[in-house]
Amino acid sequence: MVWNEITQKWKQLQEALMIDEIHFVFEIRDNSCYTQSTNYSSLNYNQKNMSVSIVVGAQWGDEGKGKIVDMLSEKIDIVARYQGGANAGHTVVIGDKTYVLHLVPSGIFQKNVKCVIGNGVVIDPVALMEEINMIKSFGIKIDGRLFISHNAHLIMPYHKLLDTIREQGAQKIGTTGRGIGPAYIDKYMRTGIRVVDLLDRKVLREKLTRNIEEKNQILSKVYGKTEIDIDKIVNEYQEFDNKIDPYITDTASYLNDALRKKKRILAEGAQGALLDVDHGTYPYVTSSNPTSGGACTGLGIPPTSVKSIIGIVKAYSTRVGNGPFPTELSENTGETLRSIGHEFGATTGRPRRCGWLDMVSLKYSLMVNGISEIALTKLDVLDSFDEIKICVAYKKDGKVLKSFPTDVHTLDTVEPVFQTYKGWNENISTAKKWKLLPPRTKKYIETIEKLSGVKVSLVSVGARRDQTIKR
């Protein structure tokens, strides 16, 4: 009887967890059951049912992730944002309308897609509510489609204030001033305020009081600024809780349950891999992990669930803010790229620095992300150039470097080695198929594939959904 009950229970557990098999050896003594040895080697998810694709910006951000995520979402069940905050600006063009999203995943424009803001994102309540209201104003249904992690950290008014003050100094990084960095600092100092803290006014007040007392000391004594009112913030954030309560859930459980049901999930990163706090051009980086590894920690999904990693690569290079940029063009060519490509930040409006495609940094990004395919964007921006260059190596003190140097002092002094290709001098924005592209355009794409060792599976020749060629 005991044995039959045990066998039945383990069968139920196997079905619930989708475990292929569990091996137990039991010893029966005096009608009691003892575990003698256990083999946990098969205790895992059934990987053949897993279906997560990660979309990663493979450069310094602004590669056009919004468009690609929107387009890929057509055949996806859930799009989940895994890091960053309202410092991201993902642009989606549908027909003659342009939408800019900062927190809500870009899959929201596909009516059958559910969207998740994961625990790895830091949320600005003001920006989030503005975005939700904007989406609703376009007649897009969002209720029942947007889920926000109860473990996501909140950006507080003092985060934005400190961010702005610190960017006024000589050592500024070039942040957006949205409070992202200071919010992540509090997260890793274990003093951050999470969405779940809004549920208990007493707990919220206690945590905020400790934080604000410390921040007021910094603001008044270090920076000579006015101190912050605790009561005002508590009241504001309690009101915020009332507004977002319908969207809050345990998103890690929600996503893992979706995986067990064989749902297709697209993980959307913000910024770019070269701005990753661990693998980017530190200290001129963002405060989180835009690289593919950040998707698992930022969403609470297992690495074994990931089936593909798509790198979004702009056909040339851009960078916003400070930091080394080896292929930067400071003369007329750079200004031409900026003008034709409308290279101004979607979040701040700042002009982006422009340069030729950097294959050295790109190959490094492909490596650390494990990118399996490339979506090449903004290729049409190069239509009018007689010559197009690709950086294929760096030189330092006359020697070719063997790898991408992430320390800024070296990277700031390298000499880019370029290969030059003839431009196609033809409008490609109307091309719908690969065969309709000019031969020189195809050669440029094939050169990128050859140099990178990764296939270009999507080619974007304009901002709209229909201006994309699938290979």
| Active-site amino acid positions | 62, 90
Distances (CA, A) of 459 to 141, 145, 166: 30, 29, 40
pLDDT confidence band for 67 (50 / 70 / 90): very high
pLDDT confidence band for 172 (50 / 70 / 90): low
pLDDT confidence band for 20 (50 / 70 / 90): very low
Residue with tokens 């031409």: 336
Per-residue pLDDT at 444 exceeds 90: yes
Average of per-residue pLDDT values in the chain: 87
Per-residue pLDDT at 348 exceeds 80: no
Q: What size, in residues, is the chain? A: 471
pLDDT confidence band for 25 (50 / 70 / 90): very low
Mean pLDDT of the region 96-123 = 92
Q: What is the pLDDT of residue 36?
A: 38
Mean pLDDT is lowest, of 160-164, 396-400, 432-436, for: 160-164
Mean pLDDT of the region 163-168 = 77
Per-residue pLDDT at 2 exceeds 60: no
pLDDT digits (tens, 9 = 90+) for 187-244: 999 999 999 998 888 888 899 889 988 888 887 777 777 778 888 888 888 888 888 9
Which value, in Å, is the radius of gyration of the alpha carbons in the chain?
A: 25
pLDDT confidence band for 81 (50 / 70 / 90): very high
The answer to whether 377 and 313 have CB atoms below 8 angstroms apart is yes
From 370, 351, 333, select the one nearest 453 (Cα to Cα).
370
Please state, as a whole number, how many other Cβ atoms lie within 10 Å of the Cβ of residue 245.
12
The answer to whether 330 and 394 have CB atoms below 8 angstroms apart is no
pLDDT digits (tens, 9 = 90+) for 214-229: 888 887 777 777 778 8
Per-residue pLDDT at 346 exceeds 80: no
Per-residue pLDDT at 393 exceeds 50: yes
Percent of the chain scoring above 70 in pLDDT = 87
Distance CA 79, CA 2 (A): 45
pLDDT digits (tens, 9 = 90+) for 99-109: 888 899 999 99
pTM for this entry: 0.85
Angular region, 195: left φ>0, alpha ψ -120 to 50, beta rest: alpha
Distance CA 119, CA 154 (A): 10
Percent of the chain scoring above 90 in pLDDT = 65
Distance CA 329, CA 335 (A): 8
Distance CA 262, CA 351 (A): 43
Strands annotated E in 191-303: 248-249, 265-268
What is the rounded (10 degree) CA torsion for 404, 361, 267, 43? -30
Which residues, other chains included, contact 364 with Cβ-Cβ below 8 Å and sequence gap of 6+?
Answer: 274, 403, 404, 406
